[in-house]
Amino acid sequence: MNKEIQKVKIKAENDKVFIEFLKQYPGLDMAAERRQKNGKIHAEAYVEREVANNLSKPGIDIEIIENASETGKQRQQEISKTNRFELAGEIGPPHGFAKKE
């Protein structure tokens, strides 16, 4: 069974609240963290759907940004199925504007 992974935005009131939050979820897969001028912290993380629904705490707001599992599947469909290494023999070496000496 594949678990759905959600990308979430975590908004913490201050450093102290954020650190306590991280202590409760030590295995949280953090993607980015930004400190705001007003002292609040905004971070992004990847978590399972069940975990995302239970992250809200006093001083912590959680916003689900996207279903990362579904986004990953969509992006995999965009990837070329052509073997670039096989094509290299057919079209020859790269041509460019390199200066010959």
Please write the tens of the pLDDT for every residue from 53-98: 888 889 999 999 999 999 989 988 888 777 766 766 666 666 667 6
Classify domain 5-84 by CATH number: 3.30.70
Q: Which residues contact 45 (CB under 8 A, 6 or more apart)?
A: 7, 8, 10, 28, 29, 30, 31
Domain boundaries, the chain: 5-84
Of the chain, the percentage scoring pLDDT greater than 70 comes to 83
Cα–Cα distance for residue pair 60/84, rounded to 1 Å: 47
